[in-house]
């Protein structure tokens, strides 16, 4: 039983260097934990059964490092990956920490900032590819405004589109096997961030020159901040063939970006998410973009990371129970039962079908009066999740 919840590399659990390396700084307080080197973080992740580690360029290589320093840092890091059996499936660029990006990166009003963002991203792509990454995430944390006096929103979209088209062409030109995944967030650190939801990203992707190489990286917390149902966003991305990567964590609705341990706030939503990912056969990394409470020391960080993976595996086992539960399955069968009376109308449009459907007499009162048993079904799921089934 316990073994079922033991994370193994085959589960494809990953963490960002910035997640387990989070030192507990917040807008009101200084760090509460010491800095841990990327090499030591890799060691810790290997010990607890993770599959991989993701990074921003500057999580590994300081922004002002010399080429010689970069070569040494990257060599040490690669050795740590090999020693601990970890891979780097995803990489990204830090386009938000440096003051140069205070007005955004690809959408900044200053054309020099936009060009610098492209340069930094090309170099960071090179680094990610060198480390073996096959997904490249774009989280435009600073791509927004405090006041719409400052920027035209259509112009901002054009600038963002220009940057992505340029970078897709760069990847193709280099012969890299790399896919882009766009990550939405409604606000924070800007008052309003462009393309605030996964749905908005999905619409935007279709306007790109190489839309086939661009998908999304939805994050639980970010859709919840916008008051949305994360599963529905993920399902739409999946349906569009665009679920390239995923950021798992948890979040209370309508608050700042909490990045809480996976499943710790809303285990029911987490259950349906795990159920979806497992059943559709999503085979990308399960990336935990979360961090330990600020109250924790380094042992607490390890508990946090192990907890994310353990909760995922517990929920995965609950999915098996859900599928094997005779009462739940009987109710589902009943809910989806089809009496066959609508068979003449299925299978797409014909003018005869349309005419006969227009003439058909429905018993509207009976349709409305029928109880659907959703209360019983949901209570069974709650009991299963609470461990009494």
Active site amino acids: 56, 59
Q: Tell me: does residue 204 bind ligand GLT (CB under 6 A).
A: no
As a whole number of angstroms, the distance between CA 242 and CA 214 comes to 7
Q: How far is the CB of 197 from Mn ion (least distance, A)?
A: 14
In terms of CB distance, is 248 or 385 closer to ligand GLT?
A: 248
Choose the contact partner of 129 out of Mn ion, ligand GLT, none; CB within 5 to 8 A by kind.
none
- Residue whose tokens read 């792509």: 125
Q: How far is the CB of 214 from ligand GLT (least distance, A)?
A: 16
Q: Tell me: does residue 247 bind ligand GLT (CB under 6 A).
A: yes
As a whole number of angstroms, the distance between CA 224 and CA 304 comes to 21
In terms of CB distance, is 103 or 257 closer to ligand GLT?
A: 257
Q: How far is the CB of 222 from Mn ion (least distance, A)?
A: 6
Choose the contact partner of 92 out of Mn ion, ligand GLT, none; CB within 5 to 8 A by kind.
ligand GLT
Q: Tell me: does residue 219 bind Mn ion (CB under 5 A).
A: yes
As a whole number of angstroms, the distance between CA 72 and CA 78 comes to 10
Site for ligand GLT in 275-334 (CB under 6 A): 289
Q: How far is the CB of 135 from ligand GLT (least distance, A)?
A: 11
Q: Name the token pair of 113.
A: 């900032």
Among candidate residues 318, 234, 229, the one with its CA nearest the CA of residue 276:
234
The β-bridge partners of 144 are 193
Of these, 13, 15, 18, 160, which contacts ligand GLT (CB under 6 A)? 18
Decide if 221 contacts 249 (C-beta within 8 A): yes
Of these, 57, 143, 257, 325, which contacts Mn ion (CB under 5 A)? 257
DSSP structure class, residue 130: H
Taken in order 2, 259, 120, 33, the sign of the CA dihedral is: negative
Which residue of this chain has its Cβ atom nearest to ligand GLT in the complex? 139
Decide if 250 contacts 229 (C-beta within 8 A): no
Site for ligand GLT in 98-157 (CB under 6 A): 137, 139
In terms of CB distance, is 63 or 342 closer to ligand GLT?
A: 63
In terms of CB distance, is 291 or 318 closer to ligand GLT?
A: 291
Helix (H) or strand (E) holding 222: helix 220-225
In terms of CB distance, is 57 or 219 closer to Mn ion?
A: 219
Q: At what angle do helices 298-324 and 38-47 cross, to 10 degrees?
A: 40
Of the CA atoms within 13 Å of residue 8, those in its CB half-sphere come to 5
To 5 degrees, how large is the angle CA 366–CA 369–CA 370? Answer: 90
Q: How far is the CB of 163 from ligand GLT (least distance, A)?
A: 15
Of these, 221, 237, 246, 385, which contacts Mn ion (CB under 5 A)? 221
Torsion of CA 309, 313, 319, 322, to 10 degrees: -120
Q: How far is the CB of 182 from ligand GLT (least distance, A)?
A: 11
As a whole number of angstroms, the distance between CA 217 and CA 234 comes to 9
* Contact footprint for ligand GLT (CB under 6 A): 18, 56, 92, 137, 139, 183, 219, 247, 257, 289
Positions in the binding site for Mn ion (CB under 5 A): 219, 221, 247, 257, 259, 289
């Amino acid at each position: 039983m316990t073994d079922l919840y033991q994370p193994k590399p085959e589960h494809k659990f990953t963490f960002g260097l910035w997640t387990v390396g989070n030192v507990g700084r917040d807008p009101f307080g200084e760090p509460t934990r010491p800095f841990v080197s990327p090499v030591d973080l890799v060691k810790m992740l290997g010990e607890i059964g993770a599959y991989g580690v993701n990074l921003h360029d500057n999580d590994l290589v300081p922004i002002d490092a010399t080429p010689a320093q970069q070569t040494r840092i990257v060599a040490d890091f690669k050795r740590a990956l090999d020693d601990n059996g970890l891979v780097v499936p995803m990489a990204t660029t830090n386009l938000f920490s440096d003051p140069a990006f205070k007005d955004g990166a690809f959408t900044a009003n200053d054309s020099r900032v936009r060009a610098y963002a492209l340069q930094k991203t090309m170099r960071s792509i090179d680094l990610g590819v060198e480390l073996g990454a096959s997904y490249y995430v774009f989280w435009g944390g600073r791509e927004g405004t405090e006041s719409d006096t400052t920027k035209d929103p259509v112009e901002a979209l054009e600038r963002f589109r220009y940057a992505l088209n340029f970078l897709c062409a760069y990847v193709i030109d280099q012969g890299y096997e790399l896919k882009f995944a766009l990550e939405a967030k409604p606000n924070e650190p800007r008052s309003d961030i462009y393309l605030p939801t996964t749905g908005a990203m999905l619409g935007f992707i279709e306007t790109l020159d190489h839309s086939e190489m661009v998908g999304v990286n939805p994050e639980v917390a970010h859709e919840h901040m916008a008051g949305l149902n994360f599963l529905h966003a993920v399902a739409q991305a999946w349906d569009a063939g665009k679920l390239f990567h995923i950021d798992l964590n948890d979040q209370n609705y309508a608050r700042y970006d909490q990045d809480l341990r996976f499943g710790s706030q809303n285990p029911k939503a987490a259950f349906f998410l795990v159920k979806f990912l497992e059943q559709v056969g999503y085979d990308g990394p399960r990336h935990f973009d979360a961090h330990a409470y600020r109250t924790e020391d380094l042992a607490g960080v390890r508990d946090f990371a192990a907890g994310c993976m353990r909760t995922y595996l517990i929920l995965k086992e609950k999915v098996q129970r859900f599928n094997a539960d005779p009462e739940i399955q009987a109710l589902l069968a009943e809910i989806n039962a089809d009496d066959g009376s609508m068979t003449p109308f299925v299978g797409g449009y014909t003018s005869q079908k349309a005419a006969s459907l227009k003439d058909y007499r429905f018993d509207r009162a009976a349709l409305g009066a029928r109880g659907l048993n959703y209360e019983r079904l949901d209570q069974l799921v709650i009991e299963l999740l609470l461990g009494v089934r």
